Amino acid sequence: MLAAVGIRSVDDLLVAIPERARRPRLGVPAGLSELELHQELSRIASQDRPAGSGPFFLGAGVYRRYIPAAVPVLATRGEFLTAYTPYQPEVSQGTLQAIWEYQSLVAELLGFDVSNASMYDGSTALAEAALLAVRATGRHRVVIAQDVHPHARAVLRAYAHGPDLEIVEVADTAALTENATGAACLITQNPSFFGTIVDLRAVAEAAHAAGALAVASVEPVSCALLEPPGACGIDVGVGDGQPLGIPMTFGGPYVGMMAATGALVRQMPGRIVGATSDEDGTRGFVNTLQTREQHIRREKATSNICTNEAVYAIHAAIYLALMGPRGLASVAARSVEQAHRAAERLAALPGCAVTNDGPFFFEFTLRTPLGATALRDALLRDGITAGYPLGHDFPDRADEILVCCTELTTDDDIARLATAIASEISRAGAPAPARRPAPRSKAVPA
């Protein structure tokens, strides 16, 4: 074979690759048997600490939730796992129906007329919603609140670079209403990145009064208790489906959700599966809209996203079907209950205060007399994942940490966190900053 292609060795095929990158060291001894290799890799893996190995209060957009055993068993069946993009509906009815079920469930959960099934994750869904608003309004100014997830705002800025959109970041959701003039859309998040519940109706009213669209990024489990964005006058709802039966998996992959009013259906990016019937009246499923540039002329395409994250969309659909409205509401209610129990316990510690500027859901911001990053690192040594230090993205809030509780958070977890923080404060002898009382659970509207 080498002679046929006129080279002396396989290495000659690899000359375009830098020599130092051709045989990277994997950290594994050479010449191991399969058994020995398995033992070595197991030893390496054992150095990791799974999220469930100790009290875990990290959220910030990725959540540790209980996943019923049926979800991965059904969603990873070979029929779903190996199915290709369903271009030919006559041989893709199973996949198409599963995607249609996902869309229907998302539309119901978020309170909209229609949902698609083609977003990578919550951040790209938000950016695509902004581009949708630009197309629909003919304007190029996008106004977004800084209490939207900082990673989502970064993705939006990256998306805006090519079409030269003007991205205006305002201090918080309340400031959106003051900057609506000339905007293509106003973008908020509910609950906010800090866990605070947002008045979506006020945002929608301000946007519509200015001729703009209202976009809301939502945490899907919260929609089981809070009024969904579609019912609040929001035009486009987006979010990440990760909390719906999808493991954290070190940050991805996930599935992005997008739903909208019927008037915007032809502006939606990606793929929309629809139900129909054939000439004999038999129910069937088809790709109703595919406005991606690989299907239509580029100038008419709504997006260049070329996947539908179908396997994880099916995870979410199965999870929602298994839980049902009552089950999902119980998950949300338990998360809220534990978060407010934790907030009350932590706010009572010397020098600590809950700093949310309104009622919160299952995440809250805690100010401590210690640096948040140092506190997190100290508690990690005790096997406690305390939360997300806000100083990573908000330098003026380096003494605050974002704490998350889910249905998996136990009373013992909360007690261990409170005891550990109290011990660190006592050890440091830190002075006490001004305190703000923690909002109570009863302040959360159902």
Summarize pLDDT for 11-20 with one digit per residue, the tens.
Answer: 898 889 998 8
Domain boundary among 265, 291, 320: 320
The residue that leads in pLDDT, 391 or 48, is 391
Phi, psi of 30 (to 5 degrees): -80, 155
The residue that leads in pLDDT, 434 or 155, is 155
Domain boundary among 290, 320, 350: 320
pLDDT at 445: 39
Structure tokens at 98: 């599963």
Question: Among 264, 273, 269, which Cα is nearest to 303's?
Answer: 269
Least confident piece of the model among 165-179, 230-244, 404-418, 421-435:
421-435
**Where residue 295 falls among pLDDT bands split at 50, 70, 90?**
low
Q: Are residues 113 and 204 in the same domain?
A: yes
Residues whose CB falls within 8 Å of the CB of residue 295, separated by 6 or more in sequence, listed in order: 301
373 within a domain of the structure (yes/no): yes
Q: What is the residue-wise DSSP string for 47-102?
A: TS--GGGS-B---TT-------THHHHHHTSHHHHTPPP---GGG-HHHHHHHHHH
CA atoms within 13 A on the CB side of 277: 5
What is the C-alpha to C-alpha distance for residues 109 and 220, in angstroms, rounded to an integer? 7
Q: What is the mean pLDDT of the chain?
A: 91
The residue that leads in pLDDT, 444 or 356, is 356
Instruction: Kindly state the helix (H) or strand (E) to which residue 383 belongs, with its residue range.
Output: none
Residue type at position 13: L
What is the C-alpha to C-alpha distance for residues 219 and 443, in angstroms, rounded to an integer? 19
Burial (0-12, 13-18, 19+ Cβ within 10 Å), 280:
exposed
Domain boundary among 320, 335, 370: 320
pLDDT at 431: 57
Neighbours of 245 (CB within 10 A): 25
- Domain span at residue 433 reads 54-63+325-443
Residues whose CB falls within 8 Å of the CB of residue 416, separated by 6 or more in sequence, listed in order: 55, 384
Q: Are residues 300 and 158 in the same domain?
A: yes
Q: Which residue's structure tokens are 């489906």?
A: 241
Q: Are residues 250 and 342 in the same domain?
A: no
247 within a domain of the structure (yes/no): yes
Q: Are residues 226 and 99 in the same domain?
A: yes
264 within a domain of the structure (yes/no): yes
Buried b (16+ CB within 10 A) or exposed e, 349-362: bebbbbbbebbbbb
Between the alpha carbon of residue 96 and those of residues 65, 71, 77, 257, the distances in Å are: 27, 18, 15, 17
Q: Are residues 371 and 308 in the same domain?
A: no
What is the C-alpha to C-alpha distance for residues 286 and 273, in angstroms, rounded to an integer? 6
Average pLDDT over residues 40-56: 91
Q: Are residues 134 and 247 in the same domain?
A: yes
Between the alpha carbon of residue 243 and those of residues 219, 325, 344, the distances in Å are: 8, 15, 25
Per DSSP, the three-state class of 205 is helix
pLDDT at 25: 79
16 within a domain of the structure (yes/no): no
Question: What are the CB-based long-range contacts (under 8 Å, 24+) for 8-11?
Answer: none
pLDDT at 85: 79
Contact 285, 100 (CB under 8 A): yes
Q: What is the pLDDT of residues 418-440, one digit of tens each?
A: 999 999 999 988 655 544 444 44
Q: Are residues 266 and 380 in the same domain?
A: no
What is the C-alpha to C-alpha distance for residues 114 and 126, in angstroms, rounded to an integer? 16
Residues of the chain with pLDDT > 70, as a percent, come to 93
Contact 269, 292 (CB under 8 A): yes
**Where residue 22 falls among pLDDT bands split at 50, 70, 90?**
confident
Question: Among 394, 391, 417, which Cα is nearest to 404's?
Answer: 417
Q: Is 392 a residue whose pLDDT tops 70?
A: yes
Q: Are residues 182 and 284 in the same domain?
A: yes
349 within a domain of the structure (yes/no): yes
285 within a domain of the structure (yes/no): yes
Q: Are residues 189 and 106 in the same domain?
A: yes
Helix, strand and coil in the chain, % to nearest 5: 45, 15, 40
pLDDT at 440: 41
Contact 126, 259 (CB under 8 A): no
Q: Are residues 304 and 329 in the same domain?
A: no
Q: Are residues 214 and 103 in the same domain?
A: yes
Average pLDDT over residues 390-406: 97
What's the predicted TM-score (pTM) here?
0.88
Average pLDDT over residues 172-197: 96
Average pLDDT over residues 88-99: 90
Average pLDDT over residues 151-164: 95
Sheet with 388-389, strands from edge to edge, namely 353-354, 363-367, 400-404, 388-389
Structure tokens at 56: 């875990």
Q: Is 442 a residue whose pLDDT tops 70?
A: no
Q: Are residues 59 and 199 in the same domain?
A: no
Q: What is the residue-wise DSSP string for 269-290?
A: -SEEEEEEE-TT--EEEEEEEE
CATH number for the domain harbouring residue 329:
3.90.1150.10
Number of domains in the chain: 2
Cite the DSSP H helix spans in 275-410: 310-347, 372-380
250 within a domain of the structure (yes/no): yes
CATH number for the domain harbouring residue 167:
3.40.640.10
User: Are β-strands 166-170 and 213-218 bridged in parallel, bridged antiparallel, or unpaired?
Assistant: unpaired
Buried b (16+ CB within 10 A) or exposed e, 422-434: bebbeebebeeee
Structure tokens at 300: 């008419």
22 within a domain of the structure (yes/no): no
Cite the DSSP H helix spans in 111-199: 122-137, 150-161
